[in-house]
């Protein structure tokens, strides 16, 4: 079994200067991590590609403004260096995330109620599904776009209900391995009761949950499965990683957070999210719609 080890791509999107001709990005912030005694930079966990941006400790005056923007869910325009991760300037924008309510309920966790993935009896069909998916380019698309497009294609063309698995990396893991991303996501299907991940950008075949996870978690430590997004958000970093499994309709980490904070439960596809997912596989549409489309992706 051959595997494609292109970890440097992960949730990398069509952000690079060669496509967008810019070294700035507008994004909201998940959290800010202060440097340890061995580090020189603050780490900004952005919702842009799941990318971690670096702010020099010498520019700590920016941090108070960035913390306020994070709290207010405001967009920030980061000007980046040639490495696409070192912050050279920041501008706080007035636009804020406006959650679109989908279904009003109380605080939620994913407990499997109301959504049941298709149990596929034939492994041959699992392989056919994998082969039918477009590969996608990890250097010019984002993992959650590809995962959404793949999930939608399996449902639309084959009637298969899949789930998604998000792997969230802990602060300790990110620091120890100098990791540049804080999450990755892919769809998985159920074959005779077993979970099989379909991540065609990084693998040549369907993989078990553990084998897939081990591609991204270099320590090969196990990842606890969590039911609420806040379990990762409030974690102390004792683990290297956490797995969050959701129905196929959930597009990105903001959706998982909104289940608890805004009471949003998704029970169907959202058209613009499906189109955003499909755009991962079409260079022209990504380039022509980059401004408006990616603004919606990272904050609606």
More confident residue, 262 or 193: 193
As a whole number, the mean pLDDT across the chain is: 82
- C-alpha closest to that of 164 among 142, 137, 144: 144
Distance between CA atoms of residues 251 and 265, nearest Å: 12
Cα of first residue to Cα of last residue in the chain, in angstroms, is: 40
Q: What is the pLDDT of residue 216?
A: 96
pLDDT digits (tens, 9 = 90+) for 101-122: 334 333 344 554 578 999 999 9
Q: What pLDDT sits at residue 262? A: 85
For the cut 90, the answer to whether the pLDDT of residue 97 exceeds it is no
Beta bridge partners of 242: 168
7-45 in b/e form (b: 16+ CB < 10 A) is eebbbbbbbeeeebeebebbbbbbebbebeeeeebbbbb
Q: Which class does domain 17-96 fall in?
A: mainly beta
Where in the chain do CATH 2.40.50.340 domains reside?
Answer: 17-96
* 31-63 pLDDT per residue, tens: 999 998 888 999 999 987 788 999 999 998 899
Closest CA to 270 of 247, 286, 289, 290: 247
| Structural domain 119-283, CATH architecture | Roll (3.10)
Delimiting residues of CATH 3.10.620.30 domain(s) in the chain: 119-283
Altogether, the residues listed in the chain come to a count of 300
Over residues 203-215, the pLDDT tens digits come to 999 999 999 999 9
Supply the pTM of this predicted model: 0.78
pLDDT digits 0-9 by tens, 64-93: 999 999 999 899 999 999 988 999 999 999
Q: Are 184 and 167 in contact (CB under 8 A)?
A: yes
Give the residue-averaged pLDDT of 209-224.
97
- Whole-number pLDDT of residue 261: 86
Which has more pLDDT, 40 or 97? 40
SS3 track for the chain: CCECCCCCCCCCCCCCHHHHCCCEEEECEEEEECCCCCCCEEEEEECCCCEEEEEEHHHCHHHHHHHHHHHCCEEEEEEECCCCCEEEEEEEEEEECCCCCCCECCCCCCCCCCCCCCEECCHHHHHHHHHHCCCCCCCCCCHHHHHHHHHHHHHHHHCCCCEEEEEEECHHHHHHHCCCECEEEEEEEEECCEEEECCCCCECCCEEHHHHHHHHCCCCCCCCEECCHHHHHCCCCCCCEEEEEEECCCCCHHHHHHHHHCCECCCCCCHHHHHHHHHHHCHHHHHHCHHHHHHHHCCC
């Amino acid at each position: 079994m051959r595997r494609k080890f292109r970890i440097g791509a992960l949730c990398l999107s069509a952000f690079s200067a060669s496509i967008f001709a810019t070294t700035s990005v507008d994004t909201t912030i998940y959290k800010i991590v202060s440097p340890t005694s061995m580090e020189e930079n603050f780490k900004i966990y952005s919702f842009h590609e799941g990318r971690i941006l670096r702010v020099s400790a010498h520019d700590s005056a920016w941090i108070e403004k960035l913390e306020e923007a994070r709290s207010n869910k405001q967009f920030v325009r980061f000007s980046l260096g040639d490495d696409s991760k070192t912050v050279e300037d920041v501008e706080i924008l007035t636009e804020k995330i406006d959650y679109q309510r989908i279904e009003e309920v109380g605080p939620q966790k994913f407990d499997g109620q109301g959504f049941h993935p298709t149990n596929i009896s034939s492994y041959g069909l699992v392989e056919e599904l994998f082969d039918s998916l477009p590969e996608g380019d990890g250097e010019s698309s984002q993992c959650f776009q590809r995962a959404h497009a793949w999930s939608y294609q399996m449902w639309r063309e084959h009637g298969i209900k899949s789930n998604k698995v998000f792997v969230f990396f802990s602060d300790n893991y990110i620091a120890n391995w100098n990791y540049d991303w804080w999450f990755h996501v892919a769809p998985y299907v159920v074959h005779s009761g077993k979970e099989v991940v379909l991540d065609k950008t990084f693998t040549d075949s369907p993989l078990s949950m553990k084998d897939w996870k081990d591609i991204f978690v270099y320590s090969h430590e196990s990842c606890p499965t969590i039911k609420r997004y806040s379990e990762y958000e409030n974690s102390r970093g004792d683990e290297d990683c956490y797995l969050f499994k959701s129905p196929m309709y959930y597009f990105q980490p903001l959706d998982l957070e909104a289940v608890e904070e805004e009471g949003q439960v998704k029970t169907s596809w959202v058209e613009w999210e499906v189109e955003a997912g499909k755009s991962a596989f079409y260079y022209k549409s990504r380039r022509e719609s980059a401004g408006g489309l990616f603004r919606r992706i990272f904050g609606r």
